[in-house]
Amino acid sequence: MLEFSYLRIVQKVTEKYTYQRGLRFFLDGRVESGTKMILQNWQIFNVIGRKKVYTVKMPLLHLLLPVRDFQAGEKALEESVLCNCEYFEINGVCKHIVAVCAHLDKKFGIKKAKKIGDKSLINTFFEVEQKKKYKKWIEDFQYYIEAQGLQDESNVLSQTMESIVSEAFQNTTKYKEILNKLGQIAQDSLVDYQKEKRIANLISNKKFLLLANNSWWKFWKPIFGQMEEKNKLQILQKLWTIYINSPNQLSDLREDLIDINKKLNEKQKNEIIEYVAENSYLNKDENTLLQLALDISCKTYLEKKIELLDPIFLIKLVQIAPDYTEAIEIKLLNQVKLWSDFLQLGRYDEIVDVMKKWKSTLGWSEIFQEAEQYIRLSHKNKRKLIKLISKL
Ligand SMILES: [Zn+2]
């Protein structure tokens, strides 16, 4: 492993303040990856400053210096490196150069620098920064759960939540430890009614759910299982609504939701459908709600719909709900009977159309034949209708 560290060198030739600022610049991602210069082993870097973009011309000293001259690195750096900022012109090595040095240490994987122990400066710095960040995550997370009357979307805390979601939830393996801690905090908060309410809001937060996709629900699932029924139902209502508006993004969620919903009673299931109907802005058509009713096997909703649906929709319903074929066909039969009884002579298009769709979609079933026969026997005078139906 290379024992050369740009940061170690640059630290020796800069003021503490300049050095710290330079590291900050690097950590903020202000160094753009270098491009080659005509001179071999030189690179040019753009560093995004507060007012403008500065250019650092940097010799790749770990390649240019013979190993025996590594200890002369500071001198070599001071002699050769260039930045076009004002500070550099007057004082020499500036924060932009420090930032580039950090970038190079990271890029060339310089892990060992004998004089400072096992870790390079940049790694140590990273660890300290990371610990600080985790500490803030934990504090803010705890506060987020405790804070009452807090608006979910519009406060500083949700920024921390956002950074947790966009970092830790994108790589749950890497952030396992910290996520476990957050999970534990949530778990411990369940004893408190108000806190549990906050957690329920958090779980069903649309922004976080969509940002973290499937890992969000996976994280909350065990905690959800321990919550009060009322909160659970509220979460399910919101999750279904979000799912129905973005089904592709939340593919894993669906099966879990279906599973959980099976344990609910009819009243709760109906409440979910009602909530979705009122709150989802996309795909709010009858088909979607019927599909939802089927997914959560909400019998009362389906049966109620069978009463209200017109025949064409009933036929469509059989396609998504084959279990209901018989009930639907009986309903169709009754509708056709009633319909044909009040039908004006000659106005047969609609009823013929429905019977045609019925037969072609559901086949020549016994119930269909019964409808056919009813018309033939009870409406002998409607000869044209009988003829049309027999030709289907
Ligand atoms: Zn500079």
Model confidence over 210-240: pLDDT tens digits? 988 789 999 999 999 999 999 999 999 999 9
**Closest C-alpha to 6, from 120, 124, 158:** 120
% of the chain surpassing 70 pLDDT: 92
Query: What is the 56 CA–ligand 1 centroid distance (Å)?
Result: 7
From ligand 1's centre to the CA of 66, what distance in Å?
27
More confident residue, 119 or 210: 210
Instruction: Tell me how far the alpha carbon of residue 352 lies from the centroid of ligand 1, in angstroms.
Output: 83
CA pair distance 144, 201, nearest whole angstrom: 11
* Structure tokens that stand for 359 in this block: 């037969």
The pLDDT of residue 143? 84
- Tens-place pLDDT, residues 134-144: 988 998 888 88
Compute the distance from residue 93 Cα to the ligand 1 centre, in Å: 7
Sketch the domain layout of the chain as residue ranges: 6-118, 121-208, 309-392
pLDDT tens column, 246-295: 888 888 888 899 999 888 999 999 999 999 988 877 655 777 888 888 88
The pLDDT value given to residue 288 = 83
Per-residue pLDDT of 293-350, as tens digits, reads: 888 888 888 888 887 888 888 888 887 778 888 988 999 999 999 999 988 877 888 8
106: Cα separation from own chain's centroid:
30
* Collapsed DSSP state (helix, strand, coil) of residue 47: strand
**8 CA distance to ligand 1 middle (Å):** 18
Ligand 1 centroid – CA 92 distance (Å): 8
**pLDDT on residue 119:** 55
> For residue 18, how far is its CA from the centre of ligand 1 (angstroms)?
10
Ligand 1 center–CA 22 separation, angstroms: 9
Q: Work out the mean pLDDT of the chain and round it to a whole number.
A: 86
pLDDT score at 59: 94
CA of 2 to the centre of ligand 1 (A): 27
Q: Is the pLDDT of residue 113 over 50?
A: no
In this predicted structure, which of 195-209, 335-349, 360-374 has the lowest mean pLDDT?
335-349
Distance 33 CA to ligand 1 centre (A): 16
- Under the banding of pLDDT at 50, 70 and 90, the label for residue 9 is very high
Percent of all residues in the chain with a pLDDT value above 90, rounded to a whole number: 46
Q: Would you say the pTM of this structure is higher than 0.85? A: no
**Can you give the pLDDT at residue 44?**
95
Report the separation in Å between the CA atom of 99 and the middle of ligand 1, taken as the mean of its atom positions.
9
DSSP E strands, the chain: 35-36, 42-48, 53-59, 82-83
Cα 86 to ligand 1 centre (Å):
7
Beta-carbon contacts of 279 under 8 Å, excluding residues fewer than 6 positions away, are 237, 238, 241
pLDDT band of 120, cuts 50, 70, 90? low
Q: How far is the CA of 152 from the centre of ligand 1 (A)?
A: 41
> What is the 121 CA–ligand 1 centroid distance (Å)?
21
The string of DSSP codes covering 94-162 is: -HHHHHHHHHHHHHTT----GGG-SS-HHHHHHHHHHHHHHHHHHHHHHHHHH-TT--SSSSHHHHHHH
The pLDDT value given to residue 318: 83
Q: How far, in Å, from the CA of 136 to the mean position of ligand 1?
A: 31
Q: Name beta bridge partners: 46.
A: 55
Q: For residue 363, what are the contacts with CB-CB under 8 A and spacing of at least 6?
A: none
* 3-class SS shares of the chain: helix, strand, coil, % to 5: 70, 5, 25
Whether 207 contacts 153, CB under 8 Å: yes
Mean pLDDT on 5-29? 91
pLDDT given at position 140: 87
> What's the mean pLDDT in 46-52?
90
Instruction: Please report which helix (H) or strand (E) contains residue 298, including its range.
Output: none
What's the gap between Cα 210 and its chain centre? 3
d(CA 16, ligand 1 centre) in Å: 15
Rounded distance from Cα 23 to ligand 1 centre (Å): 13
Q: Which strands form 35-36's sheet, in the order they lie side by side?
A: 35-36, 42-48, 53-59, 82-83
More confident residue, 374 or 145: 374
Q: What is the pLDDT of residues 126-185, one digit of tens each?
A: 777 788 889 889 988 888 888 766 555 556 667 888 889 989 999 899 899 999 999 999
Identify the pLDDT of residue 112.
45
Across the range 190-199, mean pLDDT stands at 90
| 3-class secondary structure, 30 | coil
For range 75-103, the mean pLDDT: 94
Residue 85's pLDDT band, with cuts at 50, 70 and 90, is: very high
CA distance 293 to 271: 11
Q: What's the first-to-final CA gap in the chain, in angstroms?
A: 83
